[in-house]
Amino acid sequence: MSRTRVCLSLIIALLSAPASAETAAISHDPGPAAPPEMRRDQTVTERRASAEGPSSLFNALGNAPAWLTYKARFVTDQGRVVDTGNGQISHSEGQGYGMLLAVAAGDRDAFQRIWNWTRANLMVRDDSLLAWRWEPDKRPGVADTNNATDGDILVAWALVEAADAWSDMSYRVAARRLAVDIGRRTILFKTASQPLLPGMSGFSAEDRADGPVANLSYWIFPAFPRLATVAGEIDWSSVTRSGLDLLTKAQFGPAKLPTEWISMRDAAPKPAAGFPAVFSYNAIRIPLYLAWAGITDQRFHAAFSQSWSARERSGLPVINTSDGQTIEWMQEPGYDALSALEACAISGEAVPSSFMTPARTENYYPATLHLLALVAAQMRFKACLGR
């Protein structure tokens, strides 16, 4: 959640029963009915995603050299995942991504080191949520104890996957504690739109005149059915539906793209006050999470596919949603992996050869997104990989 694009600090026991069949199938519950012509397209895309199905995350990366390079560059011996593009800080998002990738690489030693560092350094709150940011040149390293809900979700999801991969009950217990607090403290179930708050402080209606404020990239769709297996009392299906509903409404400007930060005060969402009205570094993860969850309905992908397929150069555009114009480019090669996954998920287009060979020189964030896209393709869209 950190990186230079946003600084959150500026804005201030029994395991539950397995998820129901309805929850497990949530990736194919897109909400309101589509027009007949759209339902015909939806049937085709859902059939393709369902036929391939979601395989296990464990060992899904299938690229040992890429993981070894990633681990050597971004994971310290102590288990701290370093954001090289943001002052060498660490954050709950990066720790969660690192844990997920360790499971996908079948690397239990790395997983345990990352989890140990996370517990020792970010679990400093009175609840089970994680402090969002750790700075290497500060003592204490955590100056802002606010959480980042996407980081919490990623860590909890990784713990669920690790519990299954290595039959370790301690991971499952930790996942449950975290998932329950996510559900109880950051999801406004009693609000009509049921927003997922990006953090406990700074985003609610009590904190902001235009609150609650949400960020669609915090809806990590493939995680929710997995969290339901450890915290079934939380309505994760409803969380998915609220994200998809917001995605259909937060289509701003001529490009019909969501902004990074969205005010949900009124029935019609709008760009949140005090933030640039752009589609940028956060929001590019939305189609990644949709594809990874097997959600391939064109209603949710059309704006992303159109913006990315119309490019005349490599990289992804940062778009001003007010006029649809590109204001800068995300140029590191890892970003292109997201557009390749999007084309694969929506049209079945084969990925380019570069998709299988992540660059060895880029910063933490694009390098991480590239490996995540590769894992998603391995789990959901092997046909695009020629397999």
3-state secondary structure of 369: helix
- Where b means 16+ CB within 10 Å and e means fewer, 124-162 reads eeeebbbbbbbbeeeeebbebbbbbbbbbbbbbbbbbbb
Q: What is the DSSP string of 131-148?
A: -SEE-TTSSSS-S-----
Q: At what angle do helices 149-166 and 92-104 cross, to 10 degrees?
A: 20
Residue for token digits 């199938």?
25
List per-residue pLDDT tens for the chain, 387 residues long: 544 444 444 333 333 333 333 333 333 333 333 333 333 333 333 334 433 667 799 999 999 999 999 999 999 999 999 999 999 999 999 999 999 999 999 999 999 999 999 999 999 999 999 999 999 999 999 999 999 999 999 999 999 999 999 999 999 999 999 999 999 999 999 998 999 999 999 999 999 999 999 999 999 999 999 999 999 999 999 999 999 999 999 999 999 999 999 999 999 999 999 999 999 999 999 999 999 999 999 999 999 999 999 887 889 999 999 999 999 999 999 999 999 999 999 999 999 999 999 999 999 999 999 999 999 999 999 999 987
**Domain boundaries 27-385, CATH class:** mainly alpha
Q: Name the pTM for this structure.
A: 0.88
Domain boundaries, the chain: 27-385
Cα dist. 123→26, 120, 126, 152 in Å? Answer: 30, 6, 9, 11
Active site residues: 93, 150
Return the sign of the alpha-carbon dihedral for residues 136, 141, 145, 149: positive
